[in-house]
Amino acid sequence: MKKILFVCTGNICRSPSAEAVFRHFTVQEGRELEFEADSAGTHGYHVGEPPDGRAIKIAEERGISMEGIKARKVSVSDFKKFDLIVAMDKGHYNFLENMMPVGSQAELALFMDFGNNKKNIDVPDPYYGTDDGFRKVIEMLEGGAKGILKNSF
């Protein structure tokens, strides 16, 4: 089983949405037994909280469930547990790169490097915006999640 962790800042918008989208597509493709997905934040602002209500709403509009997802903070032990750790933006990538222990076997990647042949692009933080920002983000996440499944890292 391949284990993947999606990471953003507070783990209530982008990374839980990526986790939910990725899980949704694994089920659609009948590959849910091949993967374990989780999400975390670089900061512990929202530990234990569910995803932002706007993220839940936009996911539900697309038939994607975020049920059971609760925010948590990324830890050093995640670099032992997960095969692939995916950052939502370059700031998260740099944070994770600095946190990565010597000898870690986890692969570290930027999320959009898997999406639609676009490299080195950030998934924007929709937190301070409107529902439209959340819609744009989930569309980006759908493309990236499909790319991860296609490449199976």
Write down the pTM of the prediction. Answer: 0.96
120 compared with 144, residue with greater pLDDT: 144
Q: What is the pLDDT of residues 44-76, one digit of tens each?
A: 999 999 999 999 999 999 999 999 999 999 999
Q: Structural domain of residue 55, as residue ranges?
A: 2-151
d(CA 22, CA 111): 12
Q: What is the mean pLDDT of the chain?
A: 95
Answer for the pair 74, 41: CB distance below 8 angstroms, yes or no.
Answer: yes
CATH of the domain at 97: 3.40.50.2300
**Residue 31 known to be catalytic:** no
Total domains, the chain: 1
So what's the pLDDT on residue 119?
75
Share of the chain above pLDDT 70, in %: 97
Catalytic residue status for 14? yes
Given the residues 13, 14, 72, 113, the one annotated as active site: 14
